[in-house]
Structure formats: C-alpha cells, structure tokens
Amino acid sequence: MTMLKFRKNIKFFFWIVAASFILWIFIRLGANIVGHRTRKPWERGIIAKINGQEIPYSIFNQRYSKAIQDSMNAKNGRNLTPDEEAKIEEDVWDNMLKDIAWEKVIKQRDLYLNDETVVSLLELSPPPEVRNMEYFKDSTGNFDYRKYRQALADPRNLQFFAQFEQRYRNEVPREIMRIDAYNAVTVSDTEAWYDFKKRNERVKIEYLIIRIPDSLIKYTDDDLKKFYEENKDSFKLKNSANLAFVVIPKTPSHDDTVAARDRIEGLLDQMKELNIPFDSIAAEYSEDDLSRDKGGDLGWVFPSRSNNAFNKFFELYSTLKDSPVGKLYGPILTNAGWHLAEVVEKAGDSLHIKHILVRIVSSTQTIQNAHEKAVELQRLAQDVGIDSAAAQLGLKVRETGEFKLDQNFIPYFGRDKELQELVKDAKKGDVLPVIRKSRYYMVAQVKDRKREYVPPFDEVKKKVERLYKRTMQQKLAEQYAEKIYNEIKSGKSFDEIAKEYPQLTIKHDTTDYFTRTQGVPGLAYRGKVYGAAFTLPVGAVSKPILENNAAYIIKVLDRQEPDKNNFGRFKKMAMDRQNRMTAARLWDAFTKEIIDSLKVKDYRNYILY
C-alpha cells in the first residue's frame, strides 16, 4: 500500500527536487552557470566611475601611453624610472578628472565652440608643436603660414588636425572663463594704496620677550590629575589605527638583468662592428642623465671627496682604478646597472671616467608576477588573516604602530592620501585592497581601529605634564608681563627691566627697519607682534602680547611711510598685481570646487599593474 502511494506521488516529489536543485544553482553558483554573472567594473575594463559615467581603461591608457612616449622623447628615448612613470600616471589621472569636471561646466554654461570658430582658431593660432615642425618651415627656418593653411585645407589631413581641434574645444572655453574672472575683479585706488603701503611701510621696534624657565614651575601628581580632569578634551585621541602590512617590491628579476645586459652588449657590438664613437653611443643611448649630454663624461672622480660622482658610481670606480688609460671595459655590473666605461685620464688616485649606462628595470612580466603575488596574499589574508597568509607565502609582516587619521601621516608611508582614505572607511580586522605604488605593492590589514576617545590618565601622563607646564609658563609669563608693563608705563626703561628679573628668561633687543613681508630673527613671522608693530603709533608701548608660550612687550621707535609720489608711479603696477592675485585666488578656488564636486570611484588598483 505504501509503495503504491509512493508511485502515485513520485512525479510530485521529482518536481520538488528539480525545483530545489535549480534554485540552489542560482543561489550558490550564481547566474554564471548560464554565462550571465554580473562582473565587477574593473573586470569589464572600467578604470573609474565619475559622476556615474564609466571611464574605459582604453581612454586612460591612450592618454598615459602618449604622456610616457612624450616624456621618453624629451629624454632622448631613455627608459623612465618607476617614480617618473608613477608621476606621469598621477598627472594623467588628475588631468582626466579636470577635463571631465570642465566638460560639465562647459555644458552647463553652453560654451561649446562651433566648427567654424574652431577652424578660425586653428587658422589664426597654429599649435606650438606644429610651429616647430620642420615641414611647416620655409628656407629661412621661419614658420610658413601659407604652407600651414594649405595643409589645414587638405581633407587628407583631417585626422592629423583632429587632435588639435579637440584641444581647442577643451581649452578655449576655460581660457574665456579665466579672462572673464580676471576682468570681473576690480581693484580700487584705496585697495591698491593699501597693497603698496603694506609692501613698503617700514618700522623699527624695541622689544622684550619674557619666558618662564622650567625651574619656576612646581607641581605634584595631584596637580596633574586635577588638570587632566579639567581639560579632558585636550587629551582626546582622534580616530586612530594600526596596520599590519606586507610590502611586495617590484624588484627586477634575473631575466630583467639579462635583458639589460643584452642591451649593453648590443651597444658594445655597434661600437666595435660599425666603428661608432663612444661619445655618440653615450649621447644616444646612455641612461645616466648627468653624463649623457656630455658624451658619457663623468668628469674627475675623487675618492677622497664625498660630494661627487664617486659616491654614485663607487663600484665602477673600484673596477676601473687599476685599468690603463684608453681601454674600453664592459659590460660592468653595479647597483646602477650595466656599464661600458673607459678611463680618460689618471691623476694619483683620481680618475677621469666616461661611461654608458643601461639601467636594470622591472619588465611587465616581473611587475605582473609581483601583482599576482599581492592579489594572492590579499585574498588569503581575507580568510586567515595577514599574519597566517604571509607565513604561508614566506613573506614578512610589519606594523605601522598606532597613528592618528587626522594628521595625514602614516608611519612607513608618509602622506599617503589614498591609504588614509581606505583606513578611514575600514574597521578592525578589514583587509584593504592591494595598494599599488611605483616601486612596490602593499597589502594591509587593520590590526586596530579606535574611534575618538579620552585615554586614562596613566596612558597620557607625560602629555598632561607637558601641557600643564606649558600652560603654567604662559600664565606666569602673562602675570609677570602685566607687572613689567605697568613698570614701563611708570617710567622704567626696557634695559632696566631686563636686568631687574634675573629669575626670568628675558630677551631685550632692538630691530632694524623691517616691512610686513620681512622676517625678523626672534619674532614670529607675521604674528601678533607684527600686527602690533604696524598699528601702534610711534612711541607707543604695547600691552603684553601672548605668543609662542612667551609674553612680548614692544615699543615702536620709528615708522617710515611710503611716499605717495612713488605710489603714483607704481599705482598701475600695484593695481595689476592686486588684480592678478585676487583673480588667481578666485580661479583656483573655482577650479578646486568643480573638481571636488566630482563623485569618483577609482578602480586603478584593480586594473593596473
């Protein structure tokens, strides 16, 4: 009976199992089974999303490749260092953000240039690089407008001029707005006179600086605890973190060393087989910036001195010190790379050397291998933690120690804005995305993450002590300064006062004439003392001025006003300067504002090696 019932319901059970299996496929394995898995932006070749607009890697790479090529051309084709490439990448990225921000502004203000305007601009203002092309120069070496306009009118050259057309469409509206900003700024005669006066008015002062030595500050632990309780906000620790991290360097591999040797041997073959002079090969192919333009000439290397090429090429010097003059040596391997070198002259233990250098740089494959290792570490660290992951891969873990997130400084990494932002958004235990730098990859885990809090007294006792002493010194300096000020008002001289208080640290001096823009030794530049010096009347004595944990009292001895007749001669210059400064500040603020308004998701770390 039971089996009969089972047979009747078997179809029902079959469809339940089938439906459950299909549901499991989509939940556990995802739509990837049928080829429709949702891919991450960087997996689709998207390097960034800006204001919701996806930016393909190809657009960035086109700009980056051109910038790299332009830079290499400017350096006679030599390879760029990792730091130079990183700088170019950041410049290309920043310029791309600027272009997108400006495109939005141009669209909002309807500042697009029509085709006729662009053609007119190209006709009237040929791009600088076109002006420098030999093709467009006449027999005297001057730019030939007739030849240029003929080329511009030829439809076959549309592709060539298209690059300049787009540049004009981007840059001219910006320039129009910048000129408008400059013209919108008006500077009155009063403002110009104030600027002129500020730059040319001079004063001479006598001053006392009153400081309290540490020996006069007495306190107990109870005093410090009371001070701590009354000033807890002063000891509040801001957001802080501690990172455990692993650095994976993009160090050149053995294959990279061999490749560089092949290049230097190729240069050696050219010199021998084609009889090309050493100087010519050096000028064309050497990667030593200091000597390349001089045909590889390093000059005299003096091993007894510390500030010359000897330091940089110590290994090269050591190899050549016993070699005869005029003999070509190489390839020679040093920390700088592979060399071909020759001793031109000798004088005692000093050598006159010329050389050709080929640096050993990391290949794309080497960098890719380092990147893959970093990705492997990052993924493994997400499962087992960075310490266990690094141990499995034979890598060394280090820690930054606790650092404050509001100070924009991370131990080992310095002012690293990218890393700072990642840590701010992370919590304890998070493994950060792979960080890409010019010379290494870095994987980090947030070992500790503290939000704003006040640590207990014992943890910050030294800081409490320092702040207590500084506060008491400032209070005592103010009290003594008030007393001294009253004595000066009663007729005592600055010199008498300076001798009357041996228990204090008092400096008495007289300045030369100085302007608002000149520094005075011993005085805080453009601080409160400067303000008093240029506002008090001649002969007046200031009330105590508290600055830099000291009290200042000054007396204005003399003031030299600028001549208004001179202002008449320099009025236009003063107005133009003030106009430029004001317009530049407005323009910089506006540019920063439109760039900061962009909503940027940066995927470079996922898509670039």
pTM: 0.61
- How far, in whole angstroms, is CA 17 from its chain's centroid? 61
3-state secondary structure of 415: coil
What is the CATH number assigned to the segment(s) 240-251+364-450? Answer: 3.10.50.40
pLDDT of the residue at 21: 42
What DSSP character marks residue 135?
G
Whether the pLDDT of residue 7 is over 50: the answer is: no
Model confidence at 536, pLDDT cuts 50, 70, 90, reads very high
DSSP string for residues in 18-53: HHHHHHHIIIII-GGGGT-PPPPGGGGTEEEEETTE
Q: Among 370, 492, 381, which Cα is nearest to 447's? A: 381
Counts of helices then strands in the chain (DSSP H, E): 22, 16
Q: Do residues 281 and 270 make contact, with C-beta atoms less than 8 angstroms apart?
A: yes
Percentage of the residues of the chain whose pLDDT score is greater than 70: 91
pLDDT tier at 312 (50, 70, 90 boundaries)? low
The residue assigned the tokens 């001895």 is: 557
Of 57, 38, 49, 51, nearest in space to 607 by CA: 57
Average pLDDT over residues 207-218: 92
- Domain parsing of the chain, residue ranges: 2-34, 115-183, 202-236+459-560, 240-251+364-450, 254-358
CA distances (Å), origin 26, targets 111, 386, 449, 525: 50, 32, 37, 69
Mean pLDDT value across the chain: 84
| Residue 30: per-residue pLDDT | 47
Identical fold between 240-251+364-450 and 254-358: yes
Q: What is the mean pLDDT of residues 207-228?
A: 92
Report whether pLDDT(368) > 70: yes
**CATH topology for 254-358?**
Chitinase A; domain 3 (3.10.50)
Q: Which residue has the higher pLDDT, 115 or 33?
A: 115
Q: Cα(451)–Cα(406) distance, rounded to whole angstroms?
A: 12
pLDDT of residue 338: 93
pLDDT of residue 460 exceeding 50 = yes
For the chain, the 3-state helix, strand and coil shares in percent, each to the nearest 5, are 55, 20, 30
Which range, of 39-53, 117-131, 523-537, 558-572, averages the lowest pLDDT? Answer: 558-572
Distance of CA 603 to the CA centre of its chain: 20
Average confidence (pLDDT) over 357-369: 89
**pLDDT-derived band at 567, boundaries 50, 70, 90:** confident
If one compares 43 and 476, the residue with the highest pLDDT of the two is 476
Q: Note the pLDDT of residue 304.
A: 57
For the segment 141-151, the average pLDDT, to the nearest whole number, is 86
- Measured at the CA of 351, the angle between CA 347 and CA 355, to 5 degrees, comes to 150
| Ranges 71-75, 108-112, 278-282, 521-525, most confident | 278-282
Distance separating alpha carbons of residues 156 and 453, to the nearest angstrom? 70
pLDDT tens string 461-512: 999 999 999 999 999 999 999 999 999 999 999 989 888 888 899 999 999 9
pLDDT band at 384 (very low <50, low <70, confident <90, very high): very high
Q: Which two tokens stand for residue 149?
A: 């306009």
| CA dist., res. 389 & res. 382, Å (int) | 9
Instruction: Please say if the pLDDT value at position 601 is more than 70.
Output: yes
